[in-house]
Amino acid sequence: MTANSLSISQEYPHCITSNSRQVNVQIAQEEVYTFFIGIVNTMSPGEVLREFKTFFIDGLDLQYSHFIPGIYKIFLNDKEDDFHNTLKRCIYIIINTWKTQRKDKYIQELVELFAIKNLQVKANYFPAINICKSWLENFINSKDYQEIKLFAAKHDELHKGHWANRYTSYLLVAQSVNENNPREQQEAAKKLYRQIKEKYKFELAIYIARSQSAVSSTTRYKNPSGLGDNVLRLIKAIVLKKGAFSHENIANIFIKQTQGQTLEEFKISIEKYLFFSVDNQELVKTLRQQFAEILSLWKKDYNQEILTKELFLRTCNRVIDCFTTENGKEPSLLFILLLTQGHSLTLVIILLKTILISRNSRKHLEIKIAHLIRYYEKYPEDECQWVINFMEIFNITFAIYAENVEYNLIKMEEDQSSNPQLNLDAYRVFSQMKVDRQK
């Protein structure tokens, strides 16, 4: 153990045990954070792991121990929450730095430090040791620790186990914007989110290219979606919407036409825009009526205000709430209505059209998706197929329209019909990178 770690783990306990004074916990925490920031940038990963183990585990990992790690003595006066948050931030200081340095394999070793059976063995004669062990056990069983394990898992492992693991990227967005999380956790979540998104886009583009090649073996390419071989037909149907009457062009026209409108006028306009060209007219009638009622009641006092950029953004965010979850806990009525009647693609297109007029609403949408995943993850996969189908279509549609890859449909065979939707097999999808647009 280094001299620095000795000073932090030993100096503060003397202050704690003194009856005349108590250590300032916040100052102690900052010193611990500064220490880990220093060593993770100067020491080898092995040395960092040893220092971390010295701080938080050594002594508690023995079946019979008389030794309380000094860091625990800072918090023993009923400050388990402070200990929990200190441990969490120290872990993310290490994870965030190692993510930047591409030392991912050591993050797994960091997580595995907690997999010691003796941490759960209680001491017979040392109540303080039992308190420390229970704190560590509570941390291991917490949601925070489950989130930490996401950073230790390999990309392929993220998709194993529970069905919700396939949509980890949205849970990471929620982590990255949660101001209650330490800064290092937010940064680490952003980095892993980008990695997962980029890998999905790359795998989707490669799958499309190779699955359409007669010389490619089906064992040589991976379908990143959960929709099976039908995904290619879905992609073609989505890409067909590009062109003069594409969702993007219509969105641009809508933005220009609604400039200078009042909020009340904009509510009417966005309702027409979102439901324009939806196929099922009977469904449209029911949906429009319910959506119009919800939106009309929102911000009624501002109805005569001229639409500003801020009000435009807040209205689009409110639209997203209506079609996902309004309280961040349960799914909205419109979400349930659309999906239970088998209209996943219709819902996805409505959400896409909202993002195409308000790209700054993208993060808000992804957070709402994370809330929905958290709500449904308590149900088994066979009861959530309609939600999973929605998620897969959502991922593919947004990869086609809202990312930095351009997809085009090229006719390869002559057919008798002027409507390409009647013979999608006559077309091939091509993808290429494009210049990033402001989101």
Question: Could you state, in order of their start, the residue ranges of all structural domains in the chain?
Answer: 3-154, 228-404
Q: What is the pLDDT of residue 22?
A: 46
- As averages over each run of 10 residues, the pLDDT of the chain (439 residues) reads 47 39 74 95 96 88 66 81 95 95 92 78 70 90 92 72 88 93 95 90 81 60 78 78 73 95 97 82 79 94 95 98 95 94 91 96 96 94 93 90 68 55 60 54
The answer to whether 291 and 332 are in contact (CB under 8 A) is no
Q: What is the pLDDT of residue 11?
A: 47
Q: What is the pLDDT of residue 18?
A: 38
Q: What is the pLDDT of residue 2?
A: 52
Read off the tokens for 419. 């409507």
Residue 354: CB atoms within 10 Å: 24
Return all residues near 244 (Cβ < 8 A) that are at least 6 apart: none
* Nearest C-alpha neighbor of 237 from the set 392, 388, 433, 423: 423
pTM (predicted TM-score) = 0.83
Q: What is the pLDDT of residue 33?
A: 95
Q: What is the pLDDT of residue 239?
A: 75
